[in-house]
Structure 1
Amino acid sequence: MQVDAPTSTAVPTLTRPVTSGGGGGSVKATATSSYTDQAKILSTSPQDYSNMPAGRDFDAVWVLKNVGKRAWDTTFYIRHAGGNLKGANTDLVFLPKDVPVNGSVEMTVDFNAPSTPGAYTSYWELVNDDGVAFYRFYITINVPK
């Protein structure tokens, strides 16, 4: 009687994209661990690819939910992490209040739409009190011709 040799299967890294009505973010977790600080996007305004007239001043507003294992305090912040669209006056915004587990916070960044037509994206990271960026999200706008 012949017996087949056992086969092994690698455990993949899990990646869960999180998006909500424009802008969004992503969380990466492995099958063997989870990070204490976690977030998800509840809403983003304006929605992705909203038309913004050239030079228009506008606010991007993200509502972030704390889905981690501990509260966030006002030493947590968001920072600009790249893209071809920068905030008008800042690259860093501290949380305006403490956020308990399952609580949410509204984060606002002022922008000016570029003068050249095209799609523009601004990437941001949520950073904890240890200086570790644990969540990334974005806003994308369209400047029409």
Structure 2
Amino acid sequence: MKKHKLFILILTLGFLLLSCGSNNSEQADLLLDTDAIRTEAVATYASSLTKTLVPVPTTSPTPKIIEPSLTPPEITVTLETPATANPCYNLLYIEDVTVQDGTQMKAGEAFTKTWLVQNVGGCAWRAGFTFNHYGGDGMRGSTVTLTDAIPTGAKREISVQLVVPSGQTGIIESAWRMADENGIFFGDTLSIKIVVGDVTAPTSTSTP
């Protein structure tokens, strides 16, 4: 009986030992499988990072700014040269021959104004040169055209027919000047100043 109980005890212990060994082996295998899965997962994740990540440059590229080349358009201005008198033409005022400045006159009165002038230029005044109204009141005077040449150094009297304007009082002035055949003025300006009405007469004479 004792032997029978001992045998059963031995069998039980053996079974327990076998059972423990089997469980340890399964646990070890389970642990190995878990470690392998973890290792494989980490490797896969690292591989995915290597494939998807784009390397970031360490320095920022400096943008290249290209400035447009602006060339201003060339502007050409053509200046028109004004006509000037021939330097060899010149007229010098000498004196008033008739109707001195400050003469008292009536409205509508007709008179002849004469100046004495001299050709002081280096060229003769040709026939066709004109003596023209230049400023002030024209006093109904007409342009005078030279019919004969006036040589250099010669003196001549130049006259114009004038009429005192109506409806005006005070000092009335009319200015005249010589011009060549192209209408270009030269020399001194000749003038006449008359007084109409009760006004103090001027003391000045024709201005060269």
- Tell me if TM exceeds 0.5: yes
The structure, 1 or 2, with the larger RCO (C-alpha pairs under 8 Å, 6+ apart) is 1
Per-residue displacement from partner, 1:58-112 (whole Å, max 9, x unpaired)? 11111221000011121111111120x214352x111242111111222211111
Question: What is the aligned partner in structure 2 of residue 95 from structure 1?
Answer: 146
How many aligned positions are there? 110
The match for 2:182 among 122, 126, 130 is 130
Shift of 1:114: 2.1
Identity over aligned pairs, percent:
28
Decide whether the 8 Å contact of 2:169 with 2:195 is kept in 1. yes
Question: What is the aligned partner in structure 1 of residue 108 from structure 2?
Answer: 55
SS in structure 2 opposite 1:36?
Answer: coil
Question: What is the aligned partner in structure 2 of residue 143 from structure 1?
Answer: 196
Shift of 1:132: 1.4
Question: What is the aligned partner in structure 1 of residue 20 from structure 2?
Answer: none
- In structure 1, give the amino acid aligned to 2:87: Y
Question: What is the aligned partner in structure 2 of residue 80 from structure 1?
Answer: 133
Structure 1 unaligned spans of 5+: 1-33
- In structure 2, give the amino acid aligned to 1:69: G
The runs of at least 4 consecutive aligned structure 1 residues that moved more than 6 Å come to none
Decide whether the 8 Å contact of 2:139 with 2:164 is kept in 1. no
Shift of 1:113: 1.1
Write the distance in 1 (CA, Å) between the matches of 2:181 and 2:140.
25
What do you get for the CA RMSD once the two structures are aligned?
Answer: 1.8
- In structure 2, give the amino acid aligned to 1:61: T
